[in-house]
Amino acid sequence: MLAGFLLAVGTIGMSSTALANPVLPDTAISPLPTYTNFSSSCESIALYATQAIHRLPDQLKARCRDNAGVLHSAEIDLNLCVGINYQNASLLWSIYGKFSEYCSSCWSAGTRVEFGCACRLLTGNATKISTNSTLDLDTGIGNVNGTLHCAGGIGSRGD
């Protein structure tokens, strides 16, 4: 009843043509920016844990160059960028993915930009799925003027 009242009140004074043919702004929704290759302009790259509960290395820290070439300390919470595939428990890029809720251990694999975790989840029939997988951090994190970015968020920058 209330919804019908609000609809009726919201349409008072509008012609039936305006309701049937709304004018939309001449702008398209742009896709999320892609952030990659942070390691080409950053050094002293390290993973570390901030949460005493999980003790997972869920933070990426580095010294990154700004547009003038000056190095700044930069860090980003990987939970903003990395999640898990709900079908096989592997790592993937995901906006606000919160991978640390599903993974029991993580590591730097091979290079400091290759990130690996052992993750698991319960399926609808309570079957546990566990897997070890890796993710190249250079494929989803970028350096924008000395600050680390991913599709899910912006890190912090110090001087």
Question: How many CB atoms neighbour CB 54 within 10 A?
Answer: 16
Mind giving me the DSSP string for 54-89? T----EEEEEEE-TTS-EEEEEEEGGGTEEE-TTT-
Give the closest residue to 44 by CA, choosing from 12, 5, 9, 73: 73
Q: Is the pTM of this model over 0.75?
A: no
**pLDDT tens, the chain, 159 aa long:** 444 433 443 444 444 444 454 444 444 444 556 789 999 999 999 988 876 655 778 899 999 999 999 999 999 999 999 999 988 889 999 998 999 888 888 888 766 789 999 998 877 766 677 889 999 999 999 999 999 999 877 888 877
β-sheet bridge partners, residue 143? 148
CATH superfamily membership of 34-157: Cyanovirin-N (2.30.60.10)
* 140-157 per-position pLDDT tens digit: 999 999 999 998 778 888
Query: Where exactly are the structural domains of the chain?
Result: 34-157
Two tokens at 4?
A: 């019908």
